Structure 1
Amino acid sequence: MKNFRIEILSIVLITFLAVSAACKAQTGSASDSDVKVEKKKKRRKKKKVKLPNIDLSHWKVTLPAVKENGKPYEISPPEILDFASSDIAKPYMYIDSTKGAIVFHAMPTKSKTRNTKYTRSELREQMEPGNNNVNWTFKQGGIMKAKIAMDETSRDSNGKYHRTIIMQIHGRLTNEQRDLIGEDDNNAPPILKIYWDKGKIRVKTKVLKNLNASETEILHEDAWDNDEGFNFEQEVGFNKFTLEVKVSDGKMVIILNGNEYKVYKSVHMRRWGVFENYFKAGNYFQSRDEGAYSKVRFYELEVSH
């Protein structure tokens, strides 16, 4: 009888220990599972911050914001390096840290630069920070590379997307040239305009009206006309794409996505060598329609000479 009781107690004890172990195992599993869920939630909450690969130390920006005198706001180096904290810049030029890009936002406003009816949120190269008077010639050469995407853009009354200029090479008269032809500013025509045009990349350049014009005559803006333009075959739409512009003596090459080229090498390019130049990049919006706008993302931008 005594042995029988001992056996019963042993069975009860073993059963109790087994149940306790099972409960602990279940509790432990639940705790581990909860911890994993919490970790996943925290990872979701932590958004990965990305910054654009763009050095602004040699750029100034023109914004659609208007000063009291009617002129557009400009931010030059070194202030442009802190553009993200500028209340004036924030609506028109800001960092999208989820995409790793600078967004250039433009829309029609009362702000207009000289010789144009359109507004812009656009960078202007300054070889010497803060100084517009130091520029480069085709003989000196230059390269501009960028990774870009159209973020958003409005449509016109026909349902077609508005277009914008995303890159330029702008000509500039030296002070001596300006005085020689009696101009009141240093403005010269842009030898290159690159458009985002309904999801395609379109290129426009200048051609001389009279190939026999003198070195002085070609300094006048009306000595130059627009060419017929060129469309790259690839459609970029709202996807990322790369553009590279290479300039050398008498030659200009535009490369889309590293595999499609447009080469300009002619008497027009050779004679353009009389001008100084500077690169531009951003969003020079080509519409005055009410409510129209566009946002262009720049992930990378690099210039070398």
Structure 2
Amino acid sequence: MISGNILKYKKITIAKYCLAIALIFNFLSCSNDAETVEEEIVQEEEVVEEEVEETPEPEEEVVVEEEQVEGVDYFLPNIDLSNWKVTLPIGSPTEVNPPEILDYATNEMLLPYMYNDSTDGSLVFYTSPGSSTTNSSYSRTELREQINPGSNSTNWTFAQGGSMKGTLAVPEISVDAGGDFHRTMVMQIHGRLTNEQRDLIGEDDNNAPPMLKIYWQKGKVRVLTKKLKDVNASDEEILHTDAWEDNEGYTFSEEIGNNQFTVEIIVSEGRMEIILNDNESVVYNDIHIEKWGVFENYFKAGNYLQTVDNDAFAYVKYYDLEVTH
């Protein structure tokens, strides 16, 4: 009887033991599954977070261009070219008249010879030996006054009067074989025959001599004017170019070197005055100036290099230029 009970007890115990092991195994399995599910959820959340996360775009830098101010950031010459044409040392030679000359800053043909230097507000005239005009062997980059823009026909007499004032400099000029600076002409008063005078003396053109030539020469300003070879020559005889010759000239005492200087020319009937830097002047009011009154005239300004030497050159800068009549 006891043996039967013991056996029954063992069977119950073994059954409980097996049940317990099954429960533990099931618990552990559920626990692992739960951890696995939890791990997957966390990973999914992490992935979602990575997908949602956005990198902010860098802010676009706004560049504000500062407005350039004339007279502060750059400088322009005080020159109105409306009544000037320019002759260049190229072509036969080449001339540019108004209004085309007003676009000199963008004219490719003019740019090597006539251009702005915005660092100091100058109009630069560059020249070197090249093409020359009919009555000269020298080359020039030079302005010629035109009272009526585009025409050479209207000019002025000493009786009508006029003045020209310019501030300029010769910052660079070549030297000759002996080491001396070449010279260049920077201003002129040039004579002109009327059509009637031209026909009277049988000339082919209206050219007359220059009454006034102003040079930059060895760091100084030198003036040459014309005088009659014979003061008793007739009104017709004095119309011929060979009736005139250069006078002895006048050199101002002030050394200007490569610095800025101002020259003013004032003419009236029977009188011509040239003033350097509002300080020193020379006046011509003799018989030669009186006789010169038969001619028409026009002003010239620029860079008229007085040499044909190879590799010669000159730069002339004009800061302002004004003509009145």
In structure 1, what is the equivalent of residue 189 of structure 2?
169
In structure 1, what is the equivalent of residue 113 of structure 2?
92
Shift of 1:262: 0.4
Shift of 1:151: 1.8
Deviations 1:190-233 (A, max 9, x none): 00000000100000000001111110000000000110111000
TM-score normalised by length of structure 1: 0.83
In structure 1, what is the equivalent of residue 82 of structure 2?
57
In structure 1, what is the equivalent of residue 134 of structure 2?
114
- Give, in whole Å, the separation in 1 of the partners of 2:202 and 2:308: 32
Alignment map for 1:109-258 (pairs within 5 Å)? 109=130, 111-258=131-278
8 Å CA contact 1:52, 1:101 repeated in 2: yes
Q: How many residues end up aligned between the 2 structures?
A: 256
- Give, in whole Å, the separation in 2 of the partners of 1:249 and 1:197: 29
8 Å CA contact 1:65, 1:88 repeated in 2: no
- Give, in whole Å, the separation in 2 of the partners of 1:298 and 1:114: 26
Shift of 1:77: 0.5
Deviations 1:244-286 (A, max 9, x none): 0000000000000001000001000000000000000000000
- Give, in whole Å, the separation in 1 of the partners of 2:90 and 2:134: 15
The structure where strand makes up a greater share of residues is 1
* Structure 2 counterpart SS, 1:165: strand
AA partner of residue 60 (structure 1): K
- Give, in whole Å, the separation in 1 of the partners of 2:193 and 2:165: 25
AA partner of residue 277 (structure 1): N
Output the aligned Cα RMSD.
Answer: 1.2
Name which one, 1 or 2, has greater alpha-carbon Rg.
Answer: 2
Deviations 1:43-100 (A, max 9, x none): 9xxx82100000000000000121xxxx111000000000111111111011001010
* Structure 1 counterpart SS, 2:291: helix
* Structure 2 counterpart SS, 1:176: helix
8 Å CA contact 1:108, 1:292 repeated in 2: yes
* Structure 2 counterpart SS, 1:277: strand
- Give, in whole Å, the separation in 2 of the partners of 1:205 and 1:143: 16
Point out where structure 1 has 5 or more consecutive residues left out of the alignment. 1-42
